[in-house]
């Protein structure tokens, strides 16, 4: 697909600003109209990723992975983050081992916490 | 209410020897997250990554040039309802929504009221933010509010989640299920939206007036994802794997899901085979195990355990 021209990009930026203003006014009809104009300006690009997707395609449908191997994979992933778990209080405040100030976003400890909750029995 | 996921979760017996350790770790994580939550605004803030991160650093520099008030110590805090902290791009909803959801999950499992209060503060911040053109940012707030509603049935959590969907997620979705702008058309973002819609659908009581409309948006998004995976291949695995496993669980209660369940499971299997062959995992090249893929692996493991396979 051809890249968007500079002129089209500028037009899209203006339309995006209009959409933002409609959103601040919380006007659903106006929002939908602004999206319609935005979509028109995008043309064939509407609904297509900005970066060409890198598809990985198995050549044939295989059986689902073996359950024990998934458990083993999980354990290896946790083991690979051993350093993080040894410095968990700091990491949970965004600080990597050896760093003096936060350099990690809080989404990371949040994800780890939710993952551990998903596989555990907590109400013993 | 459809309490789809019981508070006790679906534990993985094969990991039983680690449960106590995991419980300790979760407590440490959540207690420290509460430490950095902004006490005044309730928001989980974003670190000042100037000079550290190649993308976020320059972005923060630009934001600070416009408004230096948003820097508090080592953290950036924004609040679109406060003029002196406002006019942000809405990106704060990502970390606040996700971290807020982690403390809700912590409350659901550990019943520590501090986590519930923390989640409510994060939710109040999310409620105050207007929707923005980057649909996935709004979706993070939707996800938090809907998840919190399932633990604390204060009506306005669900009502605000639905309002944010109507104004800040649904309008961007085209008839074929994809989101219109090239950024949110990427599969990871597509599935961030689907996971938020899924959470809202699960939070809505049976017979709730907008339940069918919410399901429609969910269904066309999932169908588009599955079709692409089966025809073209897998282009992202973390959020898609979580969305498909969770959607598949709806089949027991929904005939429409049941009809495409074969394809959903085929798509899950395609992703899973790539992940567990370790051919795909390096797409996420961060120096510690990618936490979003950790959640996807946990979701898949839980899903497989429930199925008894």
Q: Let me know: does B168 contact B136? Beta carbons within 8 Å.
A: no
What are the start-end ranges of the E strands in A1-124? none
Pick from A48, A65, A113: CB nearest B26 = A113
For chain B, the domains span 1-153, 173-309
Residues A2-31: what's their mean pLDDT?
91
Backbone angles phi, psi at A66, to 5 degrees: -60, 135
The reply to whether A61 falls in a domain is no
Q: Is there a single domain that holds both residue A37 and residue A77?
A: no
Residues 135-164 of B with CB under 8 A from A: none
Report d(CA A35, CA A54) in Å as an integer: 28
pLDDT tens for each residue of B192-215: 999 999 999 999 999 999 999 999
* Statement: residue A88 has pLDDT above 70: yes
What sections of chain B are H helices per DSSP?
Answer: 19-36, 56-66, 92-110, 113-128, 135-151, 155-168, 187-203, 211-232, 238-248, 255-259, 261-276, 291-307
Please give chain B's pLDDT, 309 residues, in tens.
333 344 445 678 899 999 999 999 999 999 999 999 999 999 999 999 999 899 999 999 999 999 999 999 999 999 988 989 986 789 999 999 999 999 999 999 999 999 999 999 999 999 999 999 999 999 999 999 999 999 998 999 999 999 999 999 999 999 999 999 999 999 999 999 999 999 999 999 999 999 999 999 999 999 999 999 999 999 888 899 999 999 999 988 889 999 999 999 999 999 998 888 765 554 343 444 468 888 999 999 999 998 876
Residue B5 has a CB neighbour count (10 Å cut-off) of 17
Q: What is the pTM of this model?
A: 0.94
Report d(CA B178, CA A93) in Å as an integer: 36
Q: Is there a single domain that holds both residue A38 and residue A71?
A: no
* H helix or E strand, kind and range, residue A23: helix A6-24
Q: Is the dihedral of CA B197, A74, B105, B150 positive or negative?
A: positive
Residue B128 buriedness (CB in 10 A; 0-12 / 13-18 / 19+):
middle
Report CB contact under 8 Å: A26, B167.
Answer: yes
Tell me, what's the pLDDT at B284? Answer: 42
Percentage of residues of chain A with pLDDT beyond 90 = 59
Ranges A4-8, A71-75, B72-76, most confident: B72-76
The reply to whether A110 falls in a domain is yes
Number of structural domains in chain A:
2
Tell me, what's the pLDDT at A51? Answer: 80
Report CB contact under 8 Å: B180, A46.
Answer: yes
Cα B169 to chain center, whole Å? 13
Residues A58-72: what's their mean pLDDT?
83
The reply to whether A124 falls in a domain is no
Q: Let me know: does A115 contact B291? Beta carbons within 8 Å.
A: yes
Report CB contact under 8 Å: B33, A115.
Answer: no
Where b means 16+ CB within 10 Å and e means fewer, A19-39 reads bbebbeeeeeeebeebbeebb
pLDDT tens for each residue of B65-112: 999 999 999 999 999 889 899 867 899 999 999 999 999 999 999 999
Tell me, what's the pLDDT at B278? Answer: 62
Query: What's the whole-number average pLDDT of chain A?
Result: 89
B90 to chain A: closest CA residue: A20
Structural domain boundaries, residue A34: 6-45
Q: Is the dihedral of CA A49, A50, A52, A58 positive or negative?
A: negative
What sections of B204-249 are H helices per DSSP?
Answer: 211-232, 238-248
Helix (H, G, I), strand (E, B) or coil at A123: coil
Q: Give the list of residues 6+ apart from residue B234 with CB closer than 8 angstroms, or none.
A: A55, A56, A57, B240, B270, B271, B274, B280
Tell me, what's the pLDDT at B10? Answer: 65
The reply to whether A19 falls in a domain is yes
Pick from B33, B44, B109: CB nearest A117 = B109
Backbone angles phi, psi at B38, to 5 degrees: -70, 120
pLDDT tens for each residue of A23-59: 999 999 999 999 999 999 999 999 998 887 888 876 6
Tell me, what's the pLDDT at B7? Answer: 42
Residues 274-303 of B with CB under 8 A from A: 274, 276, 278-280, 283, 288-289, 291-292, 294-295, 297-302
Which residue of A17, A67, A107 to mutate against B (max B Cβ within 10 Å)? Answer: A107
Which tokens is B7 given?
């508070």
Q: Give the list of residues 6+ apart from residue B175 with CB closer than 8 angstroms, or none.
A: B220
Residue B48 buriedness (CB in 10 A; 0-12 / 13-18 / 19+):
buried
Q: Is there a single domain that holds both residue A75 and residue A34?
A: no
Report CB contact under 8 Å: A23, B22.
Answer: no
Tell me, what's the pLDDT at A122? Answer: 66
């Amino acid at each position: 697909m051809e890249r968007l021209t500079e002129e089209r990009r500028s037009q899209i930026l203006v339309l995006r600003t209009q959409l933002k203003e409609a959103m601040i006014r919380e006007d659903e009809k106006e929002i939908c109209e602004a999206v319609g104009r935005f979509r028109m300006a995008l043309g064939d690009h509407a609904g297509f990723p900005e970066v060409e997707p890198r598809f990985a395609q198995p050549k044939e449908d295989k059986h689902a992975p073996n359950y024990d191997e998934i458990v083993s994979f999980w354990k290896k992933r946790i083991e690979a983050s051993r350093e993080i778990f040894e410095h968990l209080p700091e990491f949970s405040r965004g600080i990597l081992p050896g760093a003096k100030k936060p350099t990690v976003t809080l989404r990371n400890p949040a994800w780890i916490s939710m993952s551990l909750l998903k596989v555990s029995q907590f109400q013993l | 209410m459809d309490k789809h996921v019981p508070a006790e979760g679906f534990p993985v017996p094969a990991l039983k020897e680690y449960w106590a350790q995991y419980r300790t770790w979760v407590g440490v994580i959540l207690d420290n997250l509460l430490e950095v939550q902004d006490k005044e605004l309730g928001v989980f803030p974003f670190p000042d990554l100037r000079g550290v991160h190649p993308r976020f650093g320059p972005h923060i520099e630009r934001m600070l040039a416009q408004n230096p008030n948003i820097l508090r110590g080592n953290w950036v805090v924004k609040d679109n309802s406060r003029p002196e902290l406002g006019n942000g791009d809405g990106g704060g909803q990502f970390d606040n929504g996700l971290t807020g959801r982690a403390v809700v999950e912590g409350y659901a499992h550990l019943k520590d009221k501090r986590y519930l209060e923390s989640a409510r503060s994060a939710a109040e911040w999310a409620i105050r933010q207007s929707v923005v053109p980057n649909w996935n940012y709004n979706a993070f707030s939707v996800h938090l509010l809907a998840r919190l509603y399932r633990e604390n049935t204060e009506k306005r959590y669900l009502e605000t989640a639905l309002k944010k969907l109507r104004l800040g997620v649904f309008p961007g979705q085209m008839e074929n299920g994809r989101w219109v702008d090239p950024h949110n058309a990427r599969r990871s973002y597509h599935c961030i939206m689907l996971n938020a819609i899924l959470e809202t659908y699960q939070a809505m009581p049976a017979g709730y007036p907008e339940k069918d409309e919410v399901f429609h948006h969910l269904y066309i998004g999932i169908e588009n994802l599955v079709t692409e995976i089966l025809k073209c291949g897998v282009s992202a695995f973390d959020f898609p794997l979580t969305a498909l496993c969770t959607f598949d669980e709806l089949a027991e209660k929904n005939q429409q899901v049941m009809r495409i369940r074969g394809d959903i499971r085929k798509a899950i299997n395609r992703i899973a085979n790539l992940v567990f062959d370790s051919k795909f995992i390096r797409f996420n090249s961060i120096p510690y195990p990618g936490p979003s893929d950790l959640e996807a692996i946990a979701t898949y493991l839980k899903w497989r355990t429930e199925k008894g396979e």
